Structures are given as C-alpha cells and as structure tokens.
Amino acid sequence: MNNNSTGNLTMYYNAEQLKKRDFCVPDFFVVLNTEKRPRKSWVVWGENGQYPYVIVEILSDSTAKVDRTKKKELYQNIFRTPDYFWFDPVSLEFQGLRLFEGIYQLIDRDVLPWLKSKEKSFESYINTLLRASIQALNKVLILKNN
C-alpha cells in the first residue's frame, strides 16, 4: 500500500448519487494507504471508503468563495479531511485549517512557521507543505506500526 497524491481528479463521494451529483475536483489531495495505480477519478466507495488526508485548493476569482465556504464545509463535515489548505497566487494568502473535534480550526502560524512569509514563491510553499505532510504522515505510519 502507498500514499497517493494527485490533482484535478474528480472525486465521487456518495454512492447513492452514482456519480451524478455529489462530486468535487480538489486541486491537489493525498490519500493514505491506497493501491498505486492509474485512475480516471477517485470513487470513495470503490476505494474502501477512503477520503483525502490533505487537500489543497488554489484560489481564483471564480473559485475563492466556494473554496472558502462550500468546499470547506464539505471537507470538514463529509470528508473529515484532517488538513485543508488554500493558496491565492495573486495575494499570496496561504491558509491552513486543521480538523479539531470535528471543526476546522486555523493552523497557528507559530506551529507552522513556513506559513509566515509572503516572500516565498508558490512552488516553495507547496514543496514545503508536501515535505511537512510527508514528515507528518511518516510519523503517523511509524506510530501505527509500533
């Protein structure tokens, strides 16, 4: 089993809707402990009910409101995704949310100091996010294996 990351892959999450209504397309997400194979979409009920562990959305004028509201609620209440981030490439706003007792809380910038600087490039933010996510996931996997 591997940890898979992908972007712009349609995710279907409600078997009763049978791929007709309940779907979304995160810009980037990571799912833990999955079979590494090509996929045209992520179908939650076909993947042992697995939802993303981390989701990143890239904000734009046309998506920012939905990413900050409807998708945030979806990822919090339905997906129960532990970490949700969004990035605005124009303003360089980079916000992290962590699921705590079922509700997303802002991630303290002192806990994640790499969120402080607005001088870094988008690639640097994402690379740092991915490195931090991989380190956190490795710790989780080590704890689970012990």
Return the closest-CA partner of residue 6 out of 38, 43, 44, 33.
38
Q: What is the pLDDT of residue 89?
A: 80
Instruction: Look at the pTM and tell me if it is higher than 0.85.
Output: no
Q: What is the pLDDT of residue 72?
A: 98
Q: What is the pLDDT of residue 118?
A: 45
Taking the alpha carbons at both ends of the chain, their separation in whole angstroms is: 17
Q: What is the pLDDT of residue 70?
A: 96
**Residue 107 phi, psi (nearest 5):** -80, 125
Instruction: Provide the residue ranges of all domains of the chain, joining segments of one domain with +.
Output: 2-145
* 114: amino acid identity, one letter: W
Pick the CATH number of 2-145 from 1.10.3470, 3.40.1000, 3.90.1570, 3.30.160: 3.90.1570
84 φψ region: left (φ > 0), alpha (ψ -120 to 50), beta (else): beta
Three-class DSSP category at 70: helix
**Residue pLDDT tens, the chain, 146 long:** 555 555 567 888 877 766 566 788 898 888 888 888 888 889 898 899 999 988 989 899 999 999 999 999 999 999 999 999 998 888 878 888 999 999 999 987 666 655 544 445 545 656 666 666 566 555 555 555 55
Residue 89 CA to residue 109 CA, distance in Å, equals 19
> DSSP string covering 27-40, please?
SEEEEEEE-----S
Residue 49 CA to residue 56 CA, distance in Å, equals 20
